[in-house]
A and B are shown apart, each in its own frame.
Chain A
Amino acid sequence: MNFDFPEQQPVQLPANIPAGCLRVNREQWLQTAKALHDANTRLLALWAADDRDRDGCFRVYAMYLLPETILVVEHAIHDASNPMYPSIAALFPSALRMQRAVYDLLGIASDESDMRGWLRHNGWPETLFPLRKDVDGSAHYSIAPASYPFVTVEGDGVHEIAVGPVHAGIIEPGHFRFSVVGEKVLRLEERLGYTHKGVAKLFEAFSQQDGHRLAARVSGDSAVAFSWAYCASLEAITETPVPLRAVYLRALALEHERLTNHLGDLGALGNDAGFALGLTQFSRLKEDLLRTNTVAFGARYLMHYIVPGGVSVDLPGRARGLLLKQYQELERGVVKLRSIYDEHAGIQDRFREAGRLTNELAERLGAIGLVGRASGIACDLRVDHPWQPYDKLRPKLITQAYGDVAARVQVRFDEVLETLRLCRALLDDLSSGPIQVQVPIAEPDRMGAGVIEGWRGPVIVVLETGRDGAIRRCHAHDSSWQNWPLLEYAILGNIVPDFPLINKSFNLSYSGQDG
């Protein structure tokens, strides 16, 4: 990549995949974004930090996905009394909400006009920016909820439907505001942030050796992806080589996480299309897998499994046979259910054309992960930026072109089958040896990144070390940030009763984006 300011070249950034960091000034921040946009790169994350205690600056960061590497662009803001930076949302629309979150947490403003609170719902004072170093994050504030200025649509026969934050199901909270004519959706506006738990601030109270415990709980359905990303960042900073057996077991756990969630979604999608048998059958397969997890990894959900330097539990000898048998049964069941889904006119009628996200829109808005792949975006970090052991495994890239619910269902079916292949290969190549090494305490003021393709899409952790094993700053990012805004487009022209189905086909994380 060539920039107009060749005197600056990226410096290497410790990470599990090739990564660089480019330090830029205010003008270059925008120029870089333009150059990267023109080169068809994707925005992976945007965040900021308070470094006034160190050098009087705030810093804002954007991480981009380039064909061979990831690039972190870092911009130091010297005017700490009125910190501002140029918005990149016109180039990368998904940046908008991330920039609003940066303001809520740090009081660093972009020049964007939409400055409505995103994570802050009036639960703490407007002038308090919790992620600043001089703010005590443990204080309580009692402030009455304020109303949120939703954009309204006017016209003959237009009315609004408000849903949430508490939903009529066993799901996460969020608010959806539909503007409809009859049943048809003219506009959807999401309001998220309800599950904001102050994760970024809380990380600063954890030690480097302990931060994986919090990372695993950023989004519980992606515990393996987040804890791996966290550990990868720490291991990259400390240049710790993780034993090969642990690397393979981590990948096995990550692929189990993918299977678990895909199976759950395939069942729920069948159910939302009026086919209860799908839910019964898939939830049974999912339960079988979770029970096998208990034998193989020590728990159903793997919050505890990935630890700095390796994994916490070795695969017991008896697990191998059990796993292989399980994979076989799963494969048989999934193939059968797939043909039932494919041939069921009622299901296909609901799946096809519903919630379509065209490739053009997906490109322009920066879709990523599973949702992107179902709209023809050929991007899977395991394939195009493989880290150990995916460099050896060579997973197959799975895409669909059409971008409707049916396409997102097909991607899940294909990924389940491909993942089963990967799981078998991982077991076949599993070497003996230690499962964990000691990770030394990192030098202070080092930055490193962990980038992992979870079941939804890229999961990113960027870690900055403090003194004596402390965490200075830790940013955990879920790909739901990029894909939530796309749901607002995918629903347009569909009918309200199809929303649960379309929403489920995206199955984005609330907790993961709310932090």
Chain B
Amino acid sequence: MFDVLSRIVRTGILTEPSASPSIEALQKDIWGILGRALTIRQVDAGSCNACELEIQALNNPYYNLEGMGIKFVASPRHADMLLVTGPVSVNMEEALKRTYDAVPDPKLVVAVGDCGACGGVFGTSYASRGAVANVIPVNHTITGCPPGPAAILKGIFEAVRSTFSGVHR
């Protein structure tokens, strides 16, 4: 137990001031717009998994995601936003559509990574539908292969601002 406590004390608080001031401003906006936490359901619709790893990285202590009022949830029914990585494989098309339908309105879809945004190296084929927007409506895209956590965070905030401004819930 002593080891555990000393490890905690010695590590201290690692959370960084947001990667850029613009993120902090965006975060304030979100509180203004939503007035509460943002819940996100992540869906891997066929990615190579590196995009997932960078989304997971948002949960490490440097980014303090929950401290910013963002939470990943287990059910689409609890989600405000779907964060989808692609390309959408043909074998995931139906599951993605069903997940989308399960998210309550008004819902927000953010496509993450070059693949989710435009199909990336995989493009479209017998096995791939390419961009997420080819399968469900998309509000915002975050490019990069994979985009880093800071870029993903910024993209999430921008999506909320551009979509929910003016919508009162």
Determine if B93 and A166 form an interchain contact, defined as CB atoms under 8 angstroms apart: no
Interface segment among A90-98, A133-141, A236-244, A406-414: the answer is A133-141
Q: A residues within 8 A CB of B47?
A: 172, 195, 220, 511
| CB-based contact B42/A343 at 8 Å | no
Indicate with 1 or 0, residue by residue over A135-172, a CB within 8 angstroms of chain B CB atoms: 10111110001000000000000000000011011111
Q: Is A166 a contact of B99 with CB atoms below 8 Å?
A: yes
With contacts A165-B95, A220-B48, A511-B47 taken as known, whether A198 is within 8 angstroms of B126 at the C-beta atoms is yes
Determine whether the beta carbon of B95 is less than 8 Å from that of A138.
no
> In the complex, what's the smallest C-beta–C-beta distance from A219 to chain B, in angstroms?
6
A165 in contact with B92 (CB, 8 Å): yes
Q: Say whether B167 faces chain A, with CB atoms less than 8 Å apart.
A: no
Residue A469, interface by CB 8 Å = no
Number of A-B contacts (CB under 8 A): 167
Closest to B56 in A: A170
* Contact among B43, B50, B72, B90 with A220 in the assembled complex (CB-CB below 8 Å): B50
Give complex CA distance A193, B47 in Å: 12
User: Quick one: which of A195, A279, A286, A300 contacts B92, CB cutoff 8 A?
Assistant: A195
Taken together as a complex, chains A and B put the C-alpha atoms of A196 and B89 apart, in Å, by 6
Q: With A197-B127, A201-B126 as given contacts, are A284 and B60 in contact (CB-CB < 8 Å)?
A: yes
Q: Does B37 contact A (CB under 8 A)?
A: no
A168 lies within 8 A of B122 (CB):
no
| Contacts known (A138-B126, A165-B95, A220-B50); A172 close to B90, Cβ less than 8 A | no
- Convert B23-55 into 0s and 1s, putting 1 for each residue whose CB lies closer than 8 angstroms to a CB of A: 000000000000000000011111111111111
User: Out of B3, B45, B60, B127, which one reaches A340, CB within 8 Å?
Assistant: B3
The answer to whether B50 and A173 have CB atoms under 8 Å apart is no
A287 to B16, CA, bound (A): 13
Interface size on B, residues (CB 8 A): 51
B22 on interface, CB distance cutoff 8 Å: no
Contact flag A221-B127 (CB < 8 Å), given A195-B44, A283-B60: no
A427 interface residue (CB < 8 Å to B): no
Say yes or no: is B57 at the interface (Cβ < 8 Å to chain A).
yes
Question: Given A287-B57, A339-B3, A300 and B148 touching (CB < 8 A)?
Answer: yes
A326–chain B nearest beta-carbon distance, Å: 15
Q: Which residues of B contact A290 (CB under 8 A)?
A: 57
Give CA–CA (A480, B116) in the complex, Å.
24
Of A141, A171, A193, most B-chain CB atoms within 10 Å: A171
B50 contacts which chain A residues (CB < 8 A)? 217, 220-221, 223, 301, 303
Assess the A509–B126 pair: CB atoms within 8 A: no
| B87 contacts partner chain A, Cβ-Cβ < 8 Å | yes
Give every chain A residue within 8 A of B51 (Cβ-Cβ). 220
| Chain A interface residue number, banded | 35 or more
Determine whether B146 belongs to the interface, using a CB cutoff of 8 Å to chain A. Answer: yes
* Cα–Cα, bound, A281→B75 (Å): 27
Q: Is B48 within 8 A of A219, CB to CB? A: yes
Q: Which residues of A contact B95 (CB under 8 A)?
A: 165-166, 173, 194
Contacts of B126 in A (CB 8 A): 123-124, 128, 130, 135, 137-141, 198, 201
A283 to B8, CA, bound (A): 14
Residues of B within 8 A of A197 (CB): 46, 87, 89, 122, 125, 127-128
Residue A277, interface by CB 8 Å: yes
Q: CA of A332 to CA of B8 in the docked complex: distance in angstroms? A: 15
In the assembled complex, the Cα of A123 lies from the Cα of B53 at a distance in Å of 27
Return chain B residues, CB-CB under 8 Å to A344.
Answer: 4
**How far does the Cβ of B55 sit from chain A's closest Cβ, in whole Å?**
5
A401 at the interface (CB under 8 A from B): no
- Which residue from B53, B120, B123, B128 sits with its C-beta under 8 Å from A264? B53
Bound together, the chains give a CA A198 to CA B48 distance in angstroms of: 12
CA distance A484 to B91 in the complex (A): 19
The CA of A343 and the CA of B74, in the complex, are separated in Å by 32
Report yes or no: B127 in contact with A198, Cβ–Cβ below 8 A. yes
Interchain CB contact under 8 A, B48 and A283 = no
Excluding A194-B92, A198-B127, A279-B59, 5 further A-B contacts by CB distance (< 8 Å) are A124-B127, A194-B46, A198-B128, A280-B61, A336-B7
A-B residue pairs, 4 tightest by C-beta:
A220-B50, A198-B127, A123-B90, A168-B74
B residues contacting A by CB (< 8 A) are 3-4, 7-8, 11, 14, 42-57, 59-62, 72, 74-75, 87, 89-95, 99, 120-129, 145-146, 148
